[in-house]
Structure 1
Amino acid sequence: MFHPLRVSEVERLTDDAVALTFEVPPELRDRFLHTPGQHVALRRKAVDAAAPGGEIRRTYSICAPAGTEPVLRVGVRLVEGGQFSTYAFKELAAGDTVEVMEPTGRFVLEPRPGYFAAIVGGSGITPVLSIVSTLLAREPEARFCLVRSDRTVASTMFLDEVADLKDRYPDRFQLVTVISREEQQAGLSTGRLDRQRLAQLLPAMLPVADVDGWFLCGPLGLVAGADRALRGLGVDRSRIHQEIFHVDDAAAGTPALAPSAPPVTGSTLTATLAGRSGTWPVKDGEPLLETVLRSRADAPYACRGGVCGTCRAFLVSGEVTMDRNFALEPEETDAGYVLACQSHAATPDVELDFDR
């Protein structure tokens, strides 16, 4: 559900990134309490009349620590040609109102004792900043190692916030920074964090086998390389959590899930959403999310690209094929969850449940 929230602050983080802070009124307090690592979708009317539904939705992770009072702050990086990021970076100002969806997402860590680590690239720091700041503040028996990669020092988001964590928790917070496009006088050598480099770097920095949970966030290339490096070092898949912020054009055309059955024509979809069910005919070739949206404008979605996971639904019956899946973990797809924005009916009747 979306709510109109007033922007209380627009803070310039870098030459191409801002942090937006929203005021949460008392009556919405419980709805905007978040778990560390969750995100919100922001919505505005589209300038381009051809935009789906006449609106633009984008998902941004909450970077503020979780607490008993909601602090809603997100980081937005300017993307070339990005309609919402350009609007947020160049036009939004304190006092403006933006429609904000309630927090969601499963890239989370509830504070608990243990040793945790993250490998992030660029704006992938955003959810991890909420995770690590909440964890270290609430759990004195927790430790965290953050490995972050950025193009340049000037492009690094949340420099001050991360430095503050290092000063506040010197014995429990380890920070490793890699800059890919400029030479540094100290620290690690310049270059990308690919699979081979991480496989060499990680065992030299920390006891890989002792880490209770790994959090990988950023562009697809970095996340995929880090996952392969960790698996090669013997890390169990259950300890690796991923969230992808950007999928390049080459990867965008690659299906992430092999079809289990060919698409069919003349299908019927039954979907449950917010406690109400409906049944509708599926137009040939359309994603099931579009079928639902024709009658239920409140169907959850954000990116429509198989990345954010906002449209996750449980496949109650029937079969579907998914074009792409960069959001669901293997255990989720094994349990029967699909992305409605990427799913096509593969049987005459399909039933989805968005409430599970």
Structure 2
Amino acid sequence: MFHPLRVREVERLTDDSVAVTLTVPPEFREAFRHTPGQHIALRRIVAGEEIRRTYSICAPATEEPAEPVLRVGIRLVDGGEFSTYALKELSVGDTVEAMAPTGRFVLEPRAGHFAAVVGGSGITPVLSIAATLLARQPSARFCLIRSDRTAASTMFLEEVADLKDRYPDRFQLVTALSREEQQAGLPSGRLDEERLAGLLPALLPVADIDGWFLCGPFGLVQGAERALRGLGVARTRIHEEIFHVDDDDGAGTGTGTGTGTASVTGASAATGSMHTAAPPTAATLTATLDGRSGNWPVRDGESLLETVLRSRADAPYACKGGVCGTCRAFLVSGEVRMDRNYALELEETEAGYVLACQSHPATAEVELDFDR
């Protein structure tokens, strides 16, 4: 469900990014209290057409009785309708429709030593994770390894510098610029798998890190995961959120959290299927949503989400690209083929969860439950 929220502040971060703060009315405060690392879906109607995008919350998480701070980072995407609107038109006092925070790329504050490898706007959810962790857990430590094109394109410079000043003994910052030399820090260049495999053991006791958080473009996240797995890190300690998938990554383009996100928590982003047999000539979908069930014929070529949306406009979704996880549903019966998955971890797919926006029937009858 979407709620109208008023824009409290629009802060320019770089030439192509802003931070937008939304005011949460008292009646919605508990619904919008987020876990560090979560994102929200925003909606705008243009000429009768609905545009949805998901953006990560960059503010630290608050606890009662404090008011939740709903601040998101938005970077301009070429041709992006919502990001263009946010950077060029959105003003204080405007109203934006938002869904309550969701997402499983999270860290509930606890004692331990944690680390993140981020690229570009991938800093957005990690900023919330690190700031909340360090404030609530006096013994916790956090290492942030970030990659950006240039210093001028780096989002949240002041916020990260503040963490370094406030927690000098518990917050470690390593910066790499891919298109610009810097006076101190790492030599310029991309943080690819080979470079990270050599760099990470020199910076950290890799095996002793309690959780790794990888966020940013597909190539960076996948390279970092392969480097960590090569260094012996268990998959269960690796949490991923992909912010952009390019055509040359072999899986099409998806936008959602942050610049538009793709969320992967604790599992490799991968094109995959729940079933490989030929699709049936005709199929029927039964779906439960908000306690109400219905069944509908699946039209040729449409996803199961599209089938539901024909009769239930309240079906949950944001990106429709297999990257944000908003349309996650439990497969009660039948079999489906999933075109790609950048949002569900392995444990979720093994438990029977699918992405409705990427799922097509592989049996004559399929049943989904969006409420589980």
TM band (smaller chain): over 0.9
Report the secondary structure of 2:186's partner residue.
coil
Report the secondary structure of 1:263's partner residue.
coil
Instruction: Give the match for residue 11 of structure 2.
Output: 11
Alpha-carbon distance in 1 for matches of 2:96, 2:36 = 22
Residue 282, structure 1, aligned to residue 298, structure 2: yes
Report the secondary structure of 1:279's partner residue.
strand
**Of residues 298, 307, 311 in structure 1, which corresponds to 2:327?**
311
Report the secondary structure of 2:154's partner residue.
coil
Instruction: Give the match for residue 45 of structure 2.
Output: 45
Matching residue's letter, 1:336:
G
CA-CA distance at 1:259 after TM superposition: 5.3
Q: Retained in 2: the 8 A contact 1:9–1:93?
A: yes
Q: Retained in 2: the 8 A contact 1:45–1:56?
A: yes
Q: How does 1:220-299 map to 2 (within 5 A)?
A: 220-251=218-249, 253=251, 256-258=271-273, 260=275, 261-299=277-315
Alpha-carbon distance in 2 for matches of 1:242, 1:326 = 9
Structure 1: tracts of 5 or more residues without a match = none
Alpha-carbon distance in 2 for matches of 1:303, 1:297 = 15
Q: How does 1:143-292 map to 2 (within 5 A)?
A: 143-251=141-249, 253=251, 256-258=271-273, 260=275, 261-292=277-308
Report the secondary structure of 2:37's partner residue.
coil
Alpha-carbon distance in 2 for matches of 1:263, 1:21 = 46
Alpha-carbon distance in 1 for matches of 2:278, 2:127 = 42
Q: How does 1:19-168 map to 2 (within 5 A)?
A: 19-47=19-47, 54-68=49-63, 69-168=67-166
Q: How does 1:302-341 map to 2 (within 5 A)?
A: 302-341=318-357
Q: Retained in 1: the 8 A contact 2:245–2:251?
A: no
Q: Retained in 1: the 8 A contact 2:197–2:230?
A: yes
TM-score relative to the length of structure 2: 0.93
Q: Retained in 1: the 8 A contact 2:273–2:336?
A: no
Alpha-carbon distance in 1 for matches of 2:273, 2:303 = 16
RMSD across aligned C-alpha pairs, in angstroms? 1.1
CA-CA distance at 1:103 after TM superposition: 0.5
CA-CA distance at 1:122 after TM superposition: 0.3
CA-CA distance at 1:20 after TM superposition: 0.4
Alpha-carbon distance in 1 for matches of 2:143, 2:321 = 31
TM-score relative to the length of structure 1: 0.97
Structure 2: tracts of 5 or more residues without a match = 253-269
CA-CA distance at 1:46 after TM superposition: 3.0
Q: Retained in 2: the 8 A contact 1:262–1:321?
A: no
Deviations 1:147-194 (A, max 9, x none): 000000000000000000000011111010100001111110000000
CA-CA distance at 1:274 after TM superposition: 1.4
CA-CA distance at 1:277 after TM superposition: 1.3
CA-CA distance at 1:296 after TM superposition: 0.9
Q: Retained in 1: the 8 A contact 2:274–2:335?
A: no
Deviations 1:193-225 (A, max 9, x none): 000000000000000000010000000000000
Instruction: Give the match for residue 264 of structure 2.
Output: none
CA-CA distance at 1:279 after TM superposition: 1.1
